[in-house]
Amino acid sequence: MTATPGVPASSAMTDDHDPALLCEQARDLARQGRLSPAARLYEQVVAQGDGPHRARAAFGLAVIHRDLGEVERARDLCRTAMATGDPEFAPRAACHLALSYEEEGAHREAGEAWRQALEYDAGRYAPVAHHGLARLAEARGDEATAREHWGLALRGGAAPAVVEAALDYAGRLLSRGEVEQAEQVVLRGLEEGEHTGLRVLLGAVHVERAIAQFGAVAAAAADGSAVTPRPDPGTAGVAFELLARLLAVRGDTTGSAETWEQGLDHPDPAVAQEVRARLRRGFLHPVSEPGDGFTAETEADPGAQAGAWWDPYVETAAVQNSTPMLTGELFVAITRMRDLLAPPLATGAARPAELRRAMEEAVAVPDDYVWGPALRDDLRERASQGDRTG
């Protein structure tokens, strides 16, 4: 056999009719992205008729046609591989066929293909097939059948397939609030080997448990009883804050805002003050001397910034987890003001009328935002105070 110049012998076209060698060469070509020559080699093997390598070639050719977007041709080749009954490539082809149908929402055909994969009794592909059947059962709301297939998917087989099923199932369980079951599934997946996705899910399990614990303390702070006495203000404040922040991490921004509001409106002033101090940690407030700028608020003085015009907007943004949006609005407003002022300022006093007009437009920019009127009113108030003291 003579290799094509510049091409490794293992990847070159050949006149050799050894099906094993042809499949190896086709695989190498496909991995290099050379799909057309790879397909020609696989086709040679398929055309040779029944043989131990026909299933492998048909399956390899099916994958190539799938990558080329020729779905129906790929499905026909999957069936060709399945018809051989090969213990390795027949179940692989059945799984490939099932996924093809599942991707386009053809659940009945997908289910048939998954069940065919199980008929080959190929142990390492059984978890893949049961995973597919579990997904389909979930989609049609058949919880009992879904649980049965999830259990079988996690029972054993190839480690990657078990891990993939564990990732999917644990995520679904967490979304339904079934925390204990989710943890069991995650741990089952980790028995097959380390996986960062499973570690993240295990962390999410602990987050859900923390939410439950902090929620219990917040509930006790709202309605204590002989069984669950009310916590002291410091403990209650910690619970309200951490519950709100963890709900936001979970993505429940509504629940987070409601938790903050419950703490801020607590009938016990000491609890409300503790919650407010935690919410406002890091806020800015004006220093006592005008013109000196701003300084960070201390936790010991949560009400120090009362009266600043922006205070209600910053607090609301913190409660609603919309601080990035408020910050973005401010930067957009500043950018617009700069764009209006920069050109006339560059010309200096030569065009005073243009400069005045630009200044008037720049001052009006904040009026487009919900916080704009408060800024305008604050400026008017300070101007009137200046007039009275002048």
What is the pLDDT at residue 51? 79
- Rounded CA-CA distance 119/338 in Å is 71
pLDDT band at 10 (very low <50, low <70, confident <90, very high): very low
Residue with tokens 């994969």: 117
Tokens 């990732």 map to which residue? Answer: 167
pLDDT band at 170 (very low <50, low <70, confident <90, very high): very high
In a domain, 280, yes or no: yes
In a domain, 34, yes or no: yes
Tell me the two tokens of residue 266. 């607590």
Q: H or E element: which one contains 284?
A: strand 284-286
Does 49 have pLDDT greater than 50? Answer: yes
**Residue 149 belongs to some domain of the structure:** no
Domain boundary among 84, 111, 132: 132
Residues 359 and 377 in one domain: yes
217 found inside a domain: yes
Half-sphere exposure of 161 (CA within 13 A, CB side): 22
Reported confidence tier of residue 225, pLDDT bands at 50, 70, 90: low
In a domain, 261, yes or no: yes
Domain boundary among 282, 303, 321: 321
Task: Identify the pLDDT of residue 328.
Answer: 96
Least confident stretch, 1-5, 30-34, 259-263, 325-329: 1-5
Q: How far apart are CA 379 and CA 183, in angstroms?
A: 56
If we measure between CA atoms, which residue out of 2, 71, 67, 4 comes closest to residue 30? 67
Report the pLDDT averaged over residues 7-28.
Answer: 68
Count of domains forming the chain: 3
Closest to 58 (Cα-Cα) out of 78, 88, 41, 85: 78
Asked if the model's pLDDT at residue 191 lies above 50, the reply is yes
Highest mean pLDDT of the ranges 46-55, 275-284, 301-310? 275-284
The amino acid present at 329, given as its one-letter code, is: E
Average pLDDT, the chain: 86
Domain boundary among the residues 74, 103, 132 is at: 132
Query: Is 173 inside a domain boundary?
Result: no
Alpha helices (runs of H) in the chain, residue ranges in sequence order: 19-31, 35-47, 54-67, 71-83, 89-103, 107-119, 126-139, 143-155, 159-175, 179-191, 196-222, 233-250, 253-264, 269-279, 311-319, 323-347, 352-364, 372-389
* 236 and 357 belong to one structural domain: no
pLDDT, position 287 = 60
Poorest-pLDDT segment among 10-24, 159-173, 343-357: 10-24
Mean pLDDT of 304-324: 84
Domain that holds residue 295: 203-321
Tens-place pLDDT, residues 55-90: 999 999 999 999 999 999 999 999 999 999 998 999
Q: 274 and 292: one domain?
A: yes
Q: Who has greater pLDDT, 343 or 325? A: 325
- Do 44 and 116 lie in one domain? The reply is yes
- Asked if the structure places residue 151 within a domain, the reply is no
Taking 60 as the threshold, does the pLDDT of residue 293 lie above it? no
Q: Are both 317 and 333 inside the same structural domain?
A: no
pLDDT band for position 198 (cuts 50, 70, 90): very high
Question: To the nearest whole percent, how much of the chain has pLDDT over 70?
Answer: 86
Q: Specify whether 43 is located in the same domain as 79.
A: yes
Q: Looking at residue 390, what is its pLDDT?
A: 54
Average pLDDT over residues 126-137: 95
pLDDT of residue 360: 87
Task: Choose the weakest-confidence range: 166-170, 288-292, 367-371.
Answer: 288-292
Task: Give the residue with greater pLDDT, 267 vs 299.
Answer: 267
Lowest mean pLDDT segment, chosen from 120-124, 143-147, 321-325, 383-387: 383-387
The answer to whether residue 344 is domain-embedded is yes
Q: Can you give the CATH number for the domain in which 26 is found? A: 1.25.40.10
